[in-house]
Structure 1
């Protein structure tokens, strides 16, 4: 909360002055009653005016404190979310995937929101919980030390009982919040998995997880209630206004009868004294807010403490000399405890050539494609673009060299033009349309009601898969970067869309260094270089006509590919199995 600490301190100071003015209003009312007792025929105008002004001032300052604390909370929320977004953008893609989109969204949304609530609402609670009891005690000591001791005795009793109720509160609070989060996670999982749930188990298994989480939450609540129920309720009763009022009334009546206490002083103590014990009641709510805020702050700090990808020192960054790509004895594992995804991989891609990456599923093809833009850092070896280790470039320099078209065509919930313009926001409408024409997308865009201003919906839900893919190709064409990475861009397209995508890719690949992950081997027969991977190792390299006679892995994959072309339905309606595994 350091960025808004001064605003918070100012809000708390204003709230504290408001509490003091509220007490002054009660003291003024005691003066009104004392003046009427002494001179019943005279209206105590000055005392009444003082009471009214103090009351208005107390409410005005309370509102002002709330106003300032809420402005501080909104400011903190903006700063934290911007800082988290900037930090996550500097992390490796592997670290982001390890954390998970759900966990990161919870930190950015829920945990930052919890700190917003704490900053916005805790200010008056701090004033009531700390300023009011101390100020009341001082005033009671000035009015009559004996009554002050009586009120303090009630306060001490209430605090002592409350301390019994708060034993083990830290562990209980941690378990309580953990149980609540499990319930929330189970609800989100149940809702997000609704299509799968309805297709397979009609909700029995998934809803059962939610029921178990809810049962664990109920068990936690019952355990906490039984452990602290009586003492907590008893402390609340003691710290309420009635016990203190009864003690002050009885003790004041005895002192008044013995002519050792003036009536107006006794009345002032009665009006002010109950605030000393009652003011501690917000302390419990405040402690609950503090516990929740600490958990949220800890999770925010965990994300901010993650080490970003190291960057070259200012002035020591390097720029590539061409569009070539080199893997030099690269070894890489996604997790320290998992098997290596790549082991000792070395190859060279010449500028302006087309290189295809093939192999069985899990062989490491996509890993190679995603190490080029430094989505992860390699453990051993080096990845070089234009003769420069990617770790020696700034992210801006590296990204200016590489464009991507992946299987999963992601679009933002914005217009078609905005999605194509991503990466080049300054592009003119004419440039956007030219890119769309080259990507074979202009005709279907023009047929839409709003053409290029048509919203695509969340993740492009209003468009077909082939249409989304052509928009990502248009985006890559508009970026005009010298190296192009393709991860089987036609994998999920229907025949009509596939033909359009192939024509779009032909326009995109022209004059560029192309590295493509290929599952359909027929599309790579004319590649300048084919790299064959198996279990994280580069086992073969060459052109199509060179690799077939070797009777190695590529020849086997090609044979399976040709066999799969003859797959058909039997006349009985049963499916004929494919002749072998696909590429």
Structure 2
């Protein structure tokens, strides 16, 4: 077993979280728990009526009226138990569970929309998928059922024990002596369960990562003739999951077996003590018979006690994952609210470090981009180029300094208004599994079909879309990888053209394209950037030699700023980068000539 220290939540905390996540339906959930409690009190009373019923049956003088009287009361409380339990399950049967899960997923969706991008990027896609699907189901769908089972295995024995003290306190004392023995079994089971779940989740995560890596790398593995070796690695992860499962089953089964033995021993001790008391005429035989019947009836729900415990740990684990998202606070908006007056971009003395990182991604950066100008950001990988553009769109707030759009501090702007000012074309294009029409329309939701088509024409993608069997109604998922990188890029540019934002950020959108695709995409970009404030993250310096301002970054600092000519003449960092790229270009040309 793992040596890690694992904690489990007290049951009162699980209950409090259940009520909290029930949200507006918390009242119905509490009512359900109240009805369950009353139902199992009624069931406990029905069991206890075995005492007077058997006493009447085995009385020296049999009186049918007495038997029917106690049998009638037993029937009444049994029916009351059924009615109250049915009413308690109204929370499950009337669709409240579906409403709670719907509301919870809606809250999670809202929290994700407001979550700072820095926080969101810390989650893996698989984690978010699990929280939205299985975690919500695990925490909500079992709420009513688990509560019902838990109350059954606690309330009914408690009622029986209390009543038994008034009937025959000596036998009740024997039952009471066995209760403390259940507590260490309960603690043992919870510890074993939480360790088992933690290690199983860790093993599953490793298996999932290995499987995804294997599937995604199959083309490369086949080319290298290494599919067997990596399949062996995957098989080891599968065997590891099997071992963890086996260890978990062994560790969690033993407490259940001991619980079963404990119940049997309790019955035997009651029988032995009761027989002695009967023999000594200290106890009536019907009373002993009634107690043995009652305890035997309780053995089944008591044996379920430890089996229900893992459900609480499952719910608690799911609750914590959900709460981690719901408790993440959005970035605070400063007051008074501000609205941009122009489309200038100003960065003043900005410091920024990613969470958990000691080094600064940006160190005392100050720069200005005037509206309707072409501005380039260059530098080696990790120099802070992408970080700066993220902060412009408020991916996170800098630890120091200010970022303004048109004179307005981005921290004092409504997020929707802020994002309305930006169009972004990334190097890696992401298209949704929807129609091409709807993928472009995401740039502006209220755009007509004609406006979408006009944007596609401006991005030079109308022709290849028209050739598709269903044209603009073709789903991206259906055609999959049949779209080239250039075609996918032009669709994303059409989306940006339709949005028509005044500030455009280009993250080297042509870097991974062939020459023909690059020419087509460049034409689309030319249509996008007319009369806009352009910010280009550039890797190939030849593409931005005509920029109004070039900012050179190195290790998070802005080390040079100016036009191409002035920076080359300065013979600094930019000059070295330019010379290096020119040598590579000359080498490539000489290679082709040869």
TM-score tier after normalising by the smaller chain length = 0.7 to 0.9
1:133 deviation in Å? 1.2
Answer yes or no: is 1:297 the counterpart of 2:319. yes
Maintained 8 Å contact 2:343/2:371: yes
User: After the TM superposition, which residues 73-472 of structure 1 pair with which residues of structure 2 at under 5 Å, given as runs?
Assistant: 73-141=97-165, 144-145=167-168, 149-150=170-171, 153-154=174-175, 156-157=177-178, 159-166=179-186, 171-194=191-214, 195-196=216-217, 199=221, 201-209=229-237, 211-212=239-240, 214-215=242-243, 218-219=246-247, 222=250, 224=251, 229=254, 232-239=256-263, 244=267, 247=270, 251=274, 255=278, 261=284, 269-313=291-335, 316-335=336-355, 337-422=357-442, 424-457=444-477, 463-472=483-492
Offset from partner CA, 1:424-460 (integer Å, 9 cap, x none): 3222222222222222222222222332222222996
Provide Cα deviations, 1:530-561, integer angstroms capped at 9, x if missing partner: 22222222232222333333333333333333
Describe the superposition over 1:4-41 as per-residue Cα deviations: whole angstroms up to 9, x where unpaired.
Answer: 43222222233334435556766789999888888899
CA distance in structure 2 between the aligned counterparts of 1:447 and 1:561, rounded to whole angstroms: 39
Q: Which sections of structure 1, spanning at least 5 residues, go unmatched?
A: 578-583
Q: Tell me the secondary structure at the aligned position of residue 78 of structure 1.
A: helix
Q: Give 1:470 deviation, angstroms.
A: 1.8
- Separation (CA, whole Å) in 1 of partners of 2:593 and 2:481: 34
Q: SS in structure 1 opposite 2:476?
A: coil
| Aligned equivalent of 1:529, options 524, 530, 549 | 549
Residue of structure 2 in register with 1:12 after alignment: 33
Deviations 1:78-133 (A, max 9, x none): 33333333223333222222344344444444433321244142122122122211
1:243-273 CA-partner distances (Å, limit 9, x unpaired): 538836983897499597485x666555434
1:416, CA displacement in angstroms? 2.0
Report the CA distance shift for 1:53/1:336 in structure 2 as closer, same or farther (over 3 A).
Answer: closer
1:327-356: CA deviation from partner (whole Å, max 9, x where unpaired)? 212222224533222222222111111111
1:528 and 1:431 map into 2 onto residues whose CA distance is: 32
Sort the Cα spacing of 1:164 and 1:20 in 2 relative to 1 into closer, same or farther, 3 A. Answer: closer
Is the 1:8–1:68 contact (alpha carbons within 8 Å) kept by the matching residues of 2? Answer: yes
Secondary structure of the equivalent of 1:279? helix
1:326 CA displacement: 1.2
Residue correspondences, number: 562
Task: Tell me which moved more, 406-415 or 463-472.
Answer: 463-472
Distance 1:459 1:82, change over 3 A: farther
Tell me: CA distance 1:253–1:204, structure 2 relative to 1, closer, same or farther (3 Å).
same
Gaps of 5+ in 2: 1-17
How high is the TM-score relative to the length of structure 2? 0.82
Kept in 2: contact 1:326–1:348 (CA 8 A): yes
Assess if the C-alpha contact under 8 Å between 2:550 and 2:562 holds in 1. Answer: yes
Deviation at 1:317, TM superposition (A): 0.8
Check whether the contact 2:207–2:234 (CA below 8 A) recurs between aligned residues.
Answer: no
Corresponding residue SS for 2:198: helix
Is the CA contact (8 Å cut-off) linking 1:252 and 1:261 kept in structure 2? no
* 2:338–2:412 Cα contact (<8 Å) kept: yes
Give the direction of change, closer, same or farther, for the CA distance of 1:487–1:193 in structure 2 (3 Å limit).
Answer: same
Partner of 2:513: 493
SS in 1 for 2:351: strand
Deviation at 1:153, TM superposition (A): 1.7
- Structure 1-normalised TM-score? 0.83
**Pairs within 5 Å for 1:33-112:** 58-59=81-82, 61-69=84-92, 71-112=95-136
**Are residues 92 and 173 of structure 1, via their aligned partners in 2, closer, same or farther at CA, if it must alter by over 3 Å?**
same
Contact map agreement 1:364 1:533 (CA 8 A) in 2: yes
Residues 1:49 and 1:153: Cα distance change in structure 2 (over 3 Å): closer
Does the 8 Å CA contact 2:165/2:173 hold for their aligned counterparts? no
- Separation in 1 of the partners of 2:420 and 2:528? 16
Residues 483-541 of structure 1 show CA distances to partners (whole Å, capped at 9, x for unaligned) of 11110111222333322211111111011111011123332232222222222222322
